[in-house]
Structure 1
Amino acid sequence: MTNFDATIFELAPVAMWIEDFSGVKRQFDQWRSEGVDDLRAYLKQDLTRAAACSSKIKVLQVNAKTLDLFEARSLEHLVDNLSVVFRDDMLESHINELAELWDGKTEFSSNAVNYSLSGRRMDIQLKGTVLPGHEQTLTRILMTTEDVTAREDARRNEIESRQHAEGLFKYSPVSLWVEDFSEIRNLIEDVRDRGIEDFRVFMDVHPEFVRQCMSEIRIIDVNQATLDLFCADDVQTLLRRQAEILRDEMEKPFREQLMDLWEGKLYHHREVVNYALDGTIRHILLHFAVLPGHEEDWARVQVALTDITARKKAEAYLEYLGKHDVLTKLHNRAFYKDELNRLERKSLRPVSAIVMDLNGLKEANDQLGHDAGDTLLRRFGEVLSGVVSRPNHAARIGGDEFAILMPGADKKAVSAMVDTINELLHINNQFYSNAPLSVAIGTATSRDGESMEDLVKRADLEMYEDKRAHHTGALSDKASLAGPARSASAA
């Protein structure tokens, strides 16, 4: 893990774990060889089998948020007390995770109950992803555990005891609003009385109706968690500046909320985007409920807002890891394959490809160590990042192999791209004269009816010719891309 990635991992606002499931993978292989085909049923027959799998998981690293969440002094303290954290009905949810890995999935999620080392019960939303490059061995899995206890407590309390609503409102750690939707109900019923049957089409034709409904929401009260969430000093400030909170993307989910109300759904939830009064974004899980006794007039509704900003950031990071090479920050092979398939389906032509291979990477690793080789890879990644922009994409597709896909680019555009790469390599090598970058390059531009696979093969063959010439010392600098591909190296 690079210093930059380690910093992101350590400072992430959500609890993150890196775990080694290779022992679980070996157990899977053994069970398959014994004829097991339905792992979920097999584990439920005997929960000790799930426990045996769990014991084979190695916790390699956790971040500070994890230690804080589980009240652990250190990684060792946490690992030594995992039996306190994972107990009771945890194995049931663990079976779901194991079953998804068994089915070949590289991402999974589940809801579970964990405990802090002091015994505090926590509802946990767990997400995991197999890190790129470890799909076959499961030696590195990134897990996030988000404490959603407050949200779940609010949900359970609302269902189990409506009579305690005032107490829950005042002391709830979740942002709560009491609002009057009676005028909105009147507006909706007026539309219905006019004989309108397709309400969605009506809102499409009359977007001003949605904005009118938004203006008719009357806020009766909010709790302290709401003021904290939106950085408001008091209720009056919040109400006076609520247009700053409900803006931009808010109209679209409110439109769907109106559709739910039209259909008689008085209890619903959705994710929305709000803004605090300091301008920072808030990703929110919104729970809407017409309070008992007001089903006919909507004069009292409760809106509960759970801040899921940390979860969204963690999800974005997991998505980034799934599409990018951690070392070079370029796209990874999985993204590259998806992009090839996408271009195959599109009619846009021509498409050009540039395939590149670092010369001397093995020698650098053997003679100077893998850190030196990684430095060469990072430097070349920086060069490509400085050259390639949308709609083109650069990717690391192998250990020392890179590719650029250029939709809509002809031979002239490819030539210009290679020239720019050469120029940046020359500049880069001036700062690293003791370790110059040298790159073999092959290019191809699509022919009529040619598949993307064949296009890349032609670029690949040209790159190998260039690399062979580099190793024999027979390649000389060429003036343009019109002839065979040239080697980009320190001049």
Structure 2
Amino acid sequence: MSTPLSSAADFEHMFDLAPVSLWLEDWSGVRALLQRWKNQGVADVEAFLRGHPERVREYGAAIRILKVNRRTLALFAAADQATLEASLERIFRDDMLEPAIAELRQLWSGALEFSNQTVNYALDGRRLDVFIRGRILPGHESSWERVLVSLEDNTVQERARVQLQESERHARLLFEHSPVSLWVEDFSAIKRLLDNLRERGITDLKTFLKVHPEFVEQCLHEIRVVDVNRTTLHLFGAVDKQALYAQLAAVFRDEALETFADQLLDLWDGRLVQQREVVNYTLAGEPLHMHMQFAVQEDHHGDWGLVLLSLVDITARKKAEAYLEYLGKHDVLTGLRNRAYYVEELNRLARKGPWPVAVIAMDLNGLKTVNDDHGHVAGDALLRRAGEVLSKAVGSSGCAARIGGDEFAVLLPGADERAAQTVMEHVTSLQELNNQFYPGQPLSLAMGLAVACDGAAVTAAVHQADIAMYEVKARHYESRGADRRQR
């Protein structure tokens, strides 16, 4: 039968076999050092050490190691305690100011224990992240002759934490400095509103929105913006996030309500990833054409609590497309429709009407003479004046086009001869007014009119209008004794 071990022997075994690094130390020298600093007038130990970082060595030198356990020797790759004590400068190295401050600040305030996260080094060079706990043992509170220090190796956890922090920092940098406008939003309130409609028996959201258009605005107001990046602030002209959040109603309005209604319909049908073109507005009121990509994050499909929305500014592209479309249908010099559009409109009217269709053929008198005598700049100015007159006279009721160098045509759907004559009189009146404002080269348009009563007569009407116009033009030159071929 074995004899029970004494309590002292039990302690020795527990200390030596403990699974954490244990250090039994004498800190009486530390206590004396702190008392000496206080006697010298030190009131704030942290400020003192930051002002005199070299004094940290005094703190380290005042600690006397009494005993360490097996786990300590294994952790620091030391053959024995003597080797460990002889190598302390290799274990506790680099910047020890912060760990010292963390420990001494607690003891300075009268605490009997301290804790701190720090870095040590094993004798084989390994970097060790350790969590230190120290406790002045009972019975030694007045002398600090016995302090038990434990070191928990949490290198793996610390490295994982640092990697997570670095990953989060990297993600934050990508978010903040993305060249695309990024919005983090919470759509959970919208999901609740839509779920409530289903519970009320609503199955056709499209019809419901037509009857209750105010529901779209209600949902729009329920969007909670969690965060935006710098590009967003720059794009919308906001000085900071608070300024943007306070004026979201100015950003999402008009056309945005229509596209948001489409977005709600997609969400209703379970499409949690969407993309579409939208129009938003800067805080200054300028329209922004955007390509929007919207995605409810996978781990929030159940509540829509996290949505990532990206906006790419396509305003320049839209302007370019609009300009190209304009060029495809307009004469750049006069601003009127071009020949391609005129032919297309003529064919459309021939197929669909409405009837009758009046055709006015026009020709700018004297353009060749102006070009020859005063140059093409003067001729272009005369053409622009003709465009101003025709645009104003015809307006949106018909199609005024430049179909050649000095040739123009007007198509008037649903207009009989009397209505067309009224337009021609308006052109003549505006022409005279224009000449009053532009002294020098007079603007003079020869005009001929014909009316088609059905599609089959359109081509003939164009030809008849040309003949009538040339007759007027001939009389114009005859009255001035000029040869048209030279003019």
TM, length-normalised to structure 1: 0.59
Mapping of residues 68-79 of structure 1, within 5 Å? none
User: Which of 398, 404, 426 is the aligned partner of 1:392?
Assistant: 398
The separation in 2 between residues aligned to 1:230 and 1:456, in whole angstroms, is 52
SS of 1:298's equivalent? coil
The separation in 2 between residues aligned to 1:449 and 1:220, in whole angstroms, is 61
SS of 2:239's equivalent? coil
The separation in 1 between residues aligned to 2:454 and 2:463, in whole angstroms, is 16
C-alpha spacing 1:163/1:453, structure 2 compared with 1 (3 Å) = farther
The separation in 2 between residues aligned to 1:385 and 1:238, in whole angstroms, is 42
- 1:141 maps to none
User: Which of 316, 319, 329 is the aligned partner of 1:323?
Assistant: 329
- Structure 2: where are the runs of 5+ without partners? 1-166
Q: Quick check: 1:216 aligned with 2:222?
A: yes
SS of 2:298's equivalent? coil
User: Which of 252, 268, 274 is the aligned partner of 1:268?
Assistant: 274
The separation in 1 between residues aligned to 2:349 and 2:191, in whole angstroms, is 49
Q: Is the 8 A contact 2:255 2:279 kept in 1?
A: yes
- Structure 1: where are the runs of 5+ without partners? 1-160, 476-486
Mapping of residues 84-483 of structure 1, within 5 Å? 165-430=171-436, 434-447=440-453, 451-473=457-479
C-alpha spacing 1:291/1:374, structure 2 compared with 1 (3 Å) = same
The separation in 2 between residues aligned to 1:395 and 1:292, in whole angstroms, is 56
**Alpha-carbon distance, 1:267 to partner:** 1.4
**Alpha-carbon distance, 1:226 to partner:** 1.6
C-alpha spacing 1:272/1:449, structure 2 compared with 1 (3 Å) = closer
C-alpha spacing 1:332/1:448, structure 2 compared with 1 (3 Å) = closer
The residue identity in structure 1 corresponding to 2:345 is: E
**Alpha-carbon distance, 1:181 to partner:** 0.9
C-alpha spacing 1:251/1:438, structure 2 compared with 1 (3 Å) = closer
Deviates more, 1:356-365 or 1:283-292: 356-365
SS of 2:419's equivalent? helix
**Alpha-carbon distance, 1:260 to partner:** 1.6
Deviates more, 1:221-230 or 1:358-367: 358-367
C-alpha spacing 1:470/1:245, structure 2 compared with 1 (3 Å) = same
SS of 2:302's equivalent? coil
The residue identity in structure 1 corresponding to 2:196 is: D
Determine what percentage of the aligned residue pairs are the same residue.
55
The separation in 1 between residues aligned to 2:285 and 2:308, in whole angstroms, is 25
SS of 1:331's equivalent? coil
Kindly provide the CA deviation profile for residues 227-257 of structure 1, in whole angstroms up to 9, marking residues without a partner as x.
Answer: 2222222222222221111111111111111
C-alpha spacing 1:265/1:455, structure 2 compared with 1 (3 Å) = same
The separation in 2 between residues aligned to 1:273 and 1:317, in whole angstroms, is 18
C-alpha spacing 1:200/1:346, structure 2 compared with 1 (3 Å) = same
Q: Number of aligned pairs? A: 316
**Alpha-carbon distance, 1:412 to partner:** 2.5
The separation in 1 between residues aligned to 2:352 and 2:315, in whole angstroms, is 35
C-alpha spacing 1:248/1:431, structure 2 compared with 1 (3 Å) = closer
Kindly provide the CA deviation profile for residues 280-307 of structure 1, in whole angstroms up to 9, marking residues without a partner as x.
Answer: 2222221111123112221100111122
Q: Is the 8 A contact 2:350 2:454 kept in 1?
A: no
The separation in 1 between residues aligned to 2:480 and 2:241, in whole angstroms, is 77
Root mean square deviation, CA, Å: 2.8
**Alpha-carbon distance, 1:163 to partner:** 10
Q: Looking at CA atoms only, which structure, 1 or 2, has the larger radius of gyration? A: 2
TM, length-normalised to structure 2: 0.59
- 1:146 maps to none
**Alpha-carbon distance, 1:472 to partner:** 4.0
The separation in 2 between residues aligned to 1:376 and 1:215, in whole angstroms, is 54
